[in-house]
Amino acid sequence: MAAVEIVEVGPRDGLQNESALVSTEAKIAYIEALIAAGARRIEATSFVHPKRVPQMADAEAVMAGVPRRDDVRYLGLVVNERGLDRALAAGVDEVNVVVVATETFSERNQGMSMEAALRSFAAISGRAHAAGVPVTATIGAAFGCPFEGEVAPATVAELVRSCADAGADEIALADTIGVGVPADVERLIGEVRAVTGLPLRFHFHNTRNTGYANALAAVAGGAAALDASAGGIGGCPFAPAATGNIATEDLTYALRRSGIASGLELSGVVAAATLIEAELGTQIPALLGRAGDFPVRSAAHSRPV
Amino acid sequence: MAAVEIVEVGPRDGLQNESALVSTEAKIAYIEALIAAGARRIEATSFVHPKRVPQMADAEAVMAGVPRRDDVRYLGLVVNERGLDRALAAGVDEVNVVVVATETFSERNQGMSMEAALRSFAAISGRAHAAGVPVTATIGAAFGCPFEGEVAPATVAELVRSCADAGADEIALADTIGVGVPADVERLIGEVRAVTGLPLRFHFHNTRNTGYANALAAVAGGAAALDASAGGIGGCPFAPAATGNIATEDLTYALRRSGIASGLELSGVVAAATLIEAELGTQIPALLGRAGDFPVRSAAHSRPV
């Protein structure tokens, strides 16, 4: 059976754009529910300046409160060495660093040029490795930029090569603003595979209803991991109209019916999403909780005509 | 360039499940807006008993009011010979007849057994052909049934063969309750292609967020046409939780970025959807109107790293 790993990003990318501040306790309960549903790799928080992303101001408290298990790995997003210091002190298992594929977005998202971002990535990567912590390079706006428009796959591949040279252990290709289609996924995988053999992870937003098609295309193209957020919550505060991540439960449904193992249990994911929906007080974009499951069964029920 | 025909079903499948009664004038304005956006094959209404589907009680008035052009074809849904009489009198260009793939759904949706539905289809088909009007057989619940669960592709193929034998000019495979995934689409195309060479049309609902992936899989598998509703409105009043059709604008976006021609112009479809959204007074499920377009451009904007 084919398989793909789901990286649960609801607690980080899912929550960071929500205006309702969620308590540390509720975040921990969300993470516990995700683990109960089978999540084993969870982006728990980000170590950014609390004035920039107030929702993540309790990063240390979240990491201090989550259950520690040998089979669960917590990722922390960091944008600079100060963030790395905090992440290491908080005991993350992995760090995720975003490097953006266009100059304008890099300046707006991270306040630095792409060249500076690459230098910063190399410094973070070296110090994380010294601490025994693996590093993911997430290529932001890899499918298109809200400011510069189209991004050439060759540009992304060149940035991937630079990140690989700088020590990345995994490459995540992010459709930050949700503009890609499966043909883009296939093309980008081709370009990136020409420059690195590192495991590929994909991060899709469903902004224009192409996210799930893209996710399945990524799996077909050999992706090792997919990001998703339980409930489909999330977005990017610095990208206009970048609505939610693909929803973990809807992705789990699509994968299971496609015969692709993810290790997640659908009703458990829906329970985690319901929990965070109640905290946020808004309807989540995920559909499985509303539509209900359609379990895979034998075809014995259906009658021949 | 690859191409697929979009059958606009917003005026029929889109509206029939909406509780707000839409005026005949508004329906005609919606259809006119769709034509302005490039729609050339439009399921304009259904000729069913007005007590069963009150929204379609004005079928004759809609057909009397729509613009008649040589390049636009109007489809009418009929469920029995009485409906066919009305459709022919109203001057439809094509008729669409639903035959459901399970006994329980057939009884609930149409009040007859599958065998009776096939006899009815043959009678409708013969009389429509005598009047020079082509007939589509839409196989309802072809991807799963809300009452009986899984539907075997072989069962669907057998029903397709019967409809082809009874004179169908086109086969439409409908995921009435939105449970399918691309792997199901591929499997079903394989089974159906073994029994008929008729043009294949697909009808997807996005109930579980798999509709757009399915649509792209259908095109890849050789589908000649796809149903969609501008705004993503729609559903089936007799199928629990069968939410909207895939949205014409979101599909148009995905196809265009995939290099597949549809003849539709995105901003025009969004305008038609906005018009019907205002009539319905509820937020439509389509995302393009909210997220905005991301036009295909040259890659000249993006800089090498």
Residue B226 pairs in a beta bridge with B6, B202
Which residue(s) pair with B173 in the sheet? Answer: B139, B202
Fold for domain B2-301?
Answer: TIM Barrel (3.20.20)
Interface check A114 vs B, CB under 8 A: yes
The reported pLDDT for the residue numbered B183 is 98
- What are the residues facing A245 on neighbouring strands? A205
Percentage of chain B exceeding pLDDT 70: 94
Residue B163 pLDDT:
98
Q: How far is the alpha carbon of A253 from chain B, nearest alpha carbon, in Å?
A: 8
CB contact under 8 A, B302 and A151: yes
B12-47 pLDDT tens trace = 999 998 888 999 999 999 999 999 999 999 999 999
Nearest by CB to B290, which of A103, A155, A241?
Answer: A241
Q: How far apart are CA A282 and CA A280, in angstroms?
A: 6
How far is it, in rounded angstroms, from Cα A275 to Cα A293? Answer: 18
Q: What is the pLDDT along chain A (305 residues), one digit of tens a residue?
A: 799 999 999 999 999 988 889 999 999 999 999 999 999 999 999 999 999 999 999 999 999 999 999 999 999 999 999 999 999 999 999 999 999 999 999 999 889 999 999 999 999 999 999 999 999 999 999 999 999 999 999 999 999 999 999 999 999 999 999 999 999 999 999 999 999 999 999 999 999 999 999 999 999 999 999 999 999 998 555 544 547 899 999 999 999 999 999 999 999 999 999 999 999 988 888 999 999 999 776 443 333 32
The answer to whether residue B291 neighbours chain A at the CB level (below 8 Å) is yes
pLDDT band at B110 (very low <50, low <70, confident <90, very high): confident
**CB of A238 closer than 8 Å to CB of A109:** yes
pLDDT digits (tens, 9 = 90+) for A14-39: 999 888 899 999 999 999 999 999 99
Provide Rg for chain B, Cα atoms: 18
Residue A82 near residue A95 (C-beta atoms within 8 A): no
Cβ contact, residue pair B294, A144, below 8 Å? yes
Looking at the complex, report in whole angstroms how far the Cα of residue A5 sits from the nearest Cα belonging to chain B: 19
Q: What is the pLDDT of residues B121-148, one digit of tens each?
A: 999 999 999 999 999 999 999 999 999 9
Residue B268 CA: distances (Å) to CA of A252, B1, B11, B249, B285: 35, 22, 16, 9, 17
d(CA A32, CA A272): 8
Mean pLDDT of B65-91: 97
Per-residue pLDDT at B270: 98
The reported pLDDT for the residue numbered A59 is 98
| Residues B53-77, mean pLDDT to the nearest whole number | 97
**Looking at the predicted structure, is the pLDDT value of residue B114 above 60?**
yes
How far apart (Å, rounded) are the C-alpha atoms in residues B16 and B20? 10
Question: For B305, which of A114, A150, A253 is closest by C-beta distance?
Answer: A114
> Average pLDDT of chain B?
93
Q: What is the domain partition of chain B in residue ranges?
A: 2-301
Please provide residue A99's backbone torsions phi and psi, each rounded to the nearest 5 degrees: -125, 125
Quote the CA–CA distance of A301 and B146 in Å, as a whole number.
12
| Average pLDDT score over chain A | 93
Quick check: B178 and B171 in contact, CB under 8 A? no
Question: What spatial distance separates the first Cα and last Cα of chain A, rounded to whole Å?
Answer: 32
ipTM comes to 0.94
Asked if A184's CB is within 8 angstroms of B216's CB, the reply is no
Residue B263 and residue A120: Cα distance in Å, rounded?
47
Put simply, whether A226 touches B (Cβ < 8 Å) is no
Confidence of residue B238 (pLDDT cuts 50, 70, 90): low
Q: Inform me whether the pLDDT recorded for B50 exceeds 70.
A: yes
Got the DSSP string for B131-161? TT--EEEEEETTT-BTTTB---HHHHHHHHH
Beta bridge partners of A171: A137, A200
**Nearest C-alpha of chain B: how many angstroms from A282?**
15
Q: Which residues of A are catalytic?
A: 236
Q: How far is CA A263 from CA A6, A93, A152, A223, A232, in A?
A: 8, 20, 34, 16, 18
Residues of B catalogued as catalytic: 236
pLDDT in the model for residue A51: 93
Mutation choice for A interface testing from B208, B284, B298 by most A CBs within 10 A:
B208
Query: What CATH architecture applies to the domain A2-289?
Result: Alpha-Beta Barrel (3.20)
Calpha distance B95→B77 (Å, rounded): 6
Of A179, A253, A302, Cβ closest to residue B294: A179
Rounded to whole angstroms, how far apart are CA atoms A24 and A30?
10
Contact check, Cβ <8 Å, A295/B149:
yes
Q: Do B208 and A254 touch (CB under 8 A)?
A: yes
Report the distance separating Cα B293 and Cα A283, nearest Å: 24
* Interface touch A298/B162, C-beta < 8 Å: no
Radius of gyration of chain A (CA): 18
Given a contact cutoff of 8 angstroms between Cβ atoms, the answer to whether B75 and B151 are in contact is: no
How do residues B170-203 score in pLDDT, each as one tens digit?
999 999 999 999 999 999 999 999 999 999 999 9
Q: What is the mean pLDDT of residues B144-168?
A: 97
Strand partners, B135: B95
Closest CA to A3 of A229, A225, A257, A227: A225
Q: Which token pair is B221?
A: 């598998």
